[in-house]
Structure 1
Amino acid sequence: MENVIYEVSEGVAVITLNRPQAKNAIDAATAQAIEAAMDRLEADPSVRVGILTGAGGTFCSGMDLKAFLRGEVVVTPRRGFAGIASCPPPVPLIAAIEGYSVAGGFEIALSCDLIVASRAAQFGLPEVRRGLVATAGGMLRIPGLLPPNVAHELVLTGRMASAQEMAGYGLVNRLVDEGEALQGAKALAAEIAANGPVAVRTSKAVMRQSLHWSQDEMFERQDEAARPVFTSEDAKEGARAFAEKRAPRWSGR
């Protein structure tokens, strides 16, 4: 059985963590398979959006502690924990979450750009309860995504939080009924995939990278990144399609 399943349809890649017997926990083989999926996603110009989900009604329960005790390394050299946490792909990535998104599983979700979650989904960073710390992006990303006191509470207590609570703080983009997270993520992906792929990738890059830009340089660096978009074939096609009152035919150039 493959630890990770990669499927593409209509410009959307669905990457499924496929260890339901282990609640999709990350062992060495799974981390390497996720990295390979991210590399494939990044290299394929026909893929405009990626969806990351889990089989068997659970998104991911984090690091496989049995694998950890066996001495397995679940961090890859290029992309970090689970083959994604420290270096997500430039393609927009949606987490489709059913059940538990805990510890490293929550950190994988935080590596994505958008989250669609079942109303029954649960989130948490319980590392401190095991004498560990959330070093796969939890401590780094949560403070910028949630109100500071809420972020501190989640990390320092290790408590679980419902999808409704996380949606209330804006961390979850769309709440859906149980069992419909993947369907909801596909609907959101279709909205993104309908847009100009050059513009979408550049927009993601600017939003991610600008967090580290100073006020003095941010417009200059934004313009540097955006300039090729305005001279692209897609920009010309978008204008022509608008004038001709038809759907654009994007080339990704």
Structure 2
Amino acid sequence: MPDEVLVERRDGVQIITINRPEVKNAVDGNTARQLMAAVDQLDADAELRVGVLTGAGGSFCAGMDLKAWLRGDKPVIPGRGFAGITMTPPRKPLIAAVEGYALAGGFELMLACDLAVVAENSRFGVPEVKRSLVAGGGAAMLLPRRIPSTVALEMLLTGDPIGAERAAALGLVNRVTPVGGALDGALELAATIAANGPLAVAATKEIASKQADWTVTEGWKIQAEIYGPVMASDDAREGAAAFAAKRPPVWRGR
């Protein structure tokens, strides 16, 4: 199969690049399977701390490959969602590095990431209704939780896109860079995260991503179950010892 997804390792960071620039990185079934394999590798490899998801050729992702879909080639993995990511994001942090278009399923891929660094020329939207389709890869359900519901409904019901400045004002993205700078900006952010204790980062992401489903009372109990092993780990002791000795910590992931 062609390499429709490129994977690179760089100092504990995995860079995942959708490599279909001729169709603005639209996702077909083969691409979805390769993306799923890449994020599974991110979680399985102890030397990898953070993932960065981006697209080749100046565009992030235009969503589902509609021509492939009409042939019956669907980019949804059962139990995993669109591109094998939207229903089951990786346990480790994943940062979107967006240039150009993040539309439809591409926008939903960005929503599945924990953080987003975007170029000032980026455009974001869910145009499914314009094709009598539904944003079932997460946008219709999750976007109203991320931004004011009236704004989310406007985006979902009109299908009209917004730009990087508006996305930043709404809190949809973390940082805006000059055109061509999204990947470097995402790698800078990834390096900061990768320098932290990997067990603590994973536990913190798990608590933050699941807390909306808990009551406050049960949340105290559940989060203690998640962070308890981290507090008792060798890495926790190393963090305290390194702080006391005024030296950089050496994480072992245990």
Normalised TM-score (structure 1): 0.99
The answer to whether residue 71 in structure 2 is matched with residue 94 in structure 1 is: no
The one-letter code matched in structure 2 to 1:70 is R
Q: How does 1:120-199 map to 2 (within 5 A)?
A: 120-199=121-200
Identity value in percent: 52
Alpha-carbon separation, structure 2, partners of 1:169 and 1:119: 15
> 1:78 deviation in Å?
3.6
The answer to whether residue 107 in structure 2 is matched with residue 106 in structure 1 is: yes
Q: How does 1:240-251 map to 2 (within 5 A)?
A: 240-251=241-252
Alpha-carbon separation, structure 1, partners of 2:171 and 2:29: 32
Normalised TM-score (structure 2): 0.98
Alpha-carbon separation, structure 2, partners of 1:78 and 1:2: 24
Alpha-carbon separation, structure 2, partners of 1:239 and 1:36: 36
Alpha-carbon separation, structure 1, partners of 2:205 and 2:132: 35
Alpha-carbon separation, structure 2, partners of 1:4 and 1:237: 37
Residue 61 of structure 1 aligns to a residue whose secondary structure is: coil
> 1:77 deviation in Å?
2.1
The answer to whether residue 63 in structure 2 is matched with residue 55 in structure 1 is: no
Unaligned 5+ segments in structure 1 are: none
Alpha-carbon separation, structure 2, partners of 1:88 and 1:78: 12
The one-letter code matched in structure 2 to 1:158 is G
Q: How does 1:14-29 map to 2 (within 5 A)?
A: 14-29=15-30
1:158-207 superposed Cα distances (whole Å, 9 cap, x missing partner): 11100110100111100000000000000000010010000000000001
> 1:147 deviation in Å?
1.2
Residue 51 of structure 2 aligns to a residue whose secondary structure is: strand
Alpha-carbon separation, structure 2, partners of 1:41 and 1:233: 22
The one-letter code matched in structure 2 to 1:221 is I
The one-letter code matched in structure 1 to 2:222 is R
Residue 175 of structure 1 aligns to a residue whose secondary structure is: strand
Alpha-carbon separation, structure 1, partners of 2:8 and 2:79: 23
The one-letter code matched in structure 1 to 2:246 is K
Residue 216 of structure 1 aligns to a residue whose secondary structure is: helix
The answer to whether residue 223 in structure 2 is matched with residue 219 in structure 1 is: no
Deviation larger for 121-130 or 75-84: 75-84
The one-letter code matched in structure 1 to 2:159 is G
> 1:210 deviation in Å?
1.1
> 1:221 deviation in Å?
0.7
The one-letter code matched in structure 2 to 1:162 is G
> 1:215 deviation in Å?
2.1
> 1:38 deviation in Å?
1.1
> 1:216 deviation in Å?
2.1
> 1:224 deviation in Å?
1.0
> 1:149 deviation in Å?
1.0
Alpha-carbon separation, structure 2, partners of 1:169 and 1:71: 36
Which structure 1 residue ranges, 4+ long, deviate > 6 Å from structure 2?
none
Residue 142 of structure 2 aligns to a residue whose secondary structure is: helix
1:228 maps to what in 2? 229
> 1:68 deviation in Å?
0.6
